[in-house]
């Protein structure tokens, strides 16, 4: 992930803040990662970690005010998105970068038929007639396994799973190069969740689309992603290939996430991570995780920790556990 030579998307030292009631909310604090063409990166972490803010920064749809990108670079296919004009960015949104939003009901216009909502983006970005765009929109509905005769229906006439399929159809209508999927299966039951993920993967492979998947579900990451980045308090604390992070988790927070998962083969109690996420307006000094970390030292409370290579493409910002992991490998 640190080799940027093949990177299709590269985010460097991204800092995003929200200003609210004279408080400064430090949402994203120096995030850096890269993604190759056709690969899928999973962003994992608790609610409020900054995952959605990272995705919206890439698409440049953060509400301003209160949000402000203070510094950083977002390189997409050779262009720094943060330096593009609003008109240039509008030509990229929907055409080359699309987003599947978390709540399909709020993402859809309740007063428009679903086919018309898909057709609007196609007509805008492909420069074709409304009639042609609507024909392609109906084809997209069929592609996400919604019958053609439902094209004239309104969002309230669909189930939650079908609404999510419509949102996916809108996002993929123009064959984007990058798909940002913000917890696309959170509100769905397990059966529909599996169908939606299989659908996204099939369409992604068909078009060689890169994807950033935001999720709380480590099982979804294992099944869907090539790489994973663990986000805590607006920072990436560990990243690497799915195999590296899942099989050799180093950071105490990552380990805590795995320890909190139920194990059907074990009769022991779950080991939840103690405490709560820090107040983003009053982040602790040093390592942001140290108030909840059982291995914290005085150094953790004072020194800012940076990502350090563990092995291969595996990086972590916890030096104590990296050294311990190295000793284990030596043995």
User: What pLDDT digit, counting tens, does each position of 293-313 carry?
Assistant: 988 888 888 888 889 999 899
Cα-based distances in Å from 13 to 50, 178, 183, 236, 252 = 14, 20, 24, 11, 23
How many Å apart are CA 9 and CA 75, to the nearest integer? 6
The pLDDT assigned to 69 comes to: 96
Q: Output the pLDDT for position 320.
A: 63
- Residue 323's pLDDT band, with cuts at 50, 70 and 90, is low
Is the confidence at residue 205, as pLDDT, over 80? yes
- Calculate the average pLDDT of the chain: 88
- The CA–CA distances, whole Å, from 94 to 100, 123, 126, 324 equal 11, 11, 10, 46
CA 170, CA 164: separation in Å to the nearest integer?
A: 10
What percent of the chain is modeled with pLDDT above 90?
Answer: 57
Closest CA to 250 of 271, 233, 236: 236
Q: With 70 as the cut, is the pLDDT of residue 187 above it?
A: no
Q: Is the pLDDT of residue 329 over 60?
A: no
CA distance 40 to 209: 9
Report d(CA 287, CA 234) in Å as an integer: 12
Residue 331 pLDDT > 50, yes or no? no
- Mean pLDDT value of segment 221-246: 94
Helix 160-172, helix 130-143: angle, nearest 10: 130
Token pair 């190069």: residue: 177
Band (177; pLDDT cuts 50, 70, 90): very high
Percent of the chain with pLDDT over 70: 93
* Residue 312 phi, psi dihedral angles, 5° rounding: 55, -120
pLDDT at residue 149 greater than cutoff 90: yes
Higher-confidence residue: 2 or 78? 78
Residue 330 has pLDDT above 80, yes or no: no
pLDDT (mean) for 96-108:
88
Any bridge partners for residue 178, and if so which? Answer: 97, 210
User: Which of 30-39, 227-236, 303-312 comes out lowest in average pLDDT?
Assistant: 303-312
Bridge partners (DSSP) listed for residue 80:
75
Q: Provide the pLDDT for residue 6.
A: 65
In degrees and rounded to multiples of 5, residue 173 shows phi and psi of -60, -35
Residues 6+ apart with CB under 8 A from 173: 94, 118, 121, 122, 136, 137, 140
d(Cα 293, Cα 71) in Å, to the nearest integer? Answer: 29
């Amino acid at each position: 992930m640190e080799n940027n030579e093949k990177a299709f998307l590269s985010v460097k030292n991204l800092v995003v803040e929200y200003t609210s009631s004279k408080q400064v909310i430090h949402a994203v604090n120096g995030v850096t990662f890269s993604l190759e063409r056709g690969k899928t990166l999973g962003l994992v972490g608790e609610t409020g970690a900054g995952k959605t803010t990272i995705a919206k920064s890439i698409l440049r749809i953060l509400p301003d005010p209160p949000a402000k990108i203070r510094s950083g670079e977002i390189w997409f296919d050779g262009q720094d998105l943060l330096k593009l004009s609003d008109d240039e960015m509008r030509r990229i949104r929907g055409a080359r970068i699309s987003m599947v939003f978390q709540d399909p009901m709020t993402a859809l216009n309740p007063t428009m038929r679903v086919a018309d909502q898909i057709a609007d983006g196609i007509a805008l970005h492909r420069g074709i007639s409304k009639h042609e765009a609507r024909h392609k929109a109906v084809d997209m509905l069929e592609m996400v396994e919604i019958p053609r005769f439902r094209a004239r229906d309104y969002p309230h006439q669909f189930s939650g799973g079908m609404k999510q399929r419509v949102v996916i159809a809108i996002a993929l209508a123009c064959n984007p190069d990058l798909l940002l999927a913000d917890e696309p299966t959170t509100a769905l039951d397990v059966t529909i969740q599996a169908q939606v993920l299989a659908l996204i993967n099939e369409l992604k492979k068909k078009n060689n689309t890169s994807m950033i998947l935001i999720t709380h579900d480590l099982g979804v990451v294992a099944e869907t992603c090539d790489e994973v980045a663990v986000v805590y308090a607006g920072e990436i604390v560990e990243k690497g290939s799915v195999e590296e992070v899942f099989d050799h988790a180093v950071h105490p927070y990552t380990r805590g996430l795995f320890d909190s998962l139920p194990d059907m083969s074990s009769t022991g109690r779950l080991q939840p991570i103690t405490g709560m996420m820090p107040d983003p307006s009053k982040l602790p000094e040093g390592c942001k995780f140290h108030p909840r970390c059982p291995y914290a030292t005085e150094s953790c409370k004072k020194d800012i920790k940076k990502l350090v290579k563990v092995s291969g493409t595996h990086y972590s910002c916890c030096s104590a556990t990296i050294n311990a992991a190295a000793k284990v490998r030596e043995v």
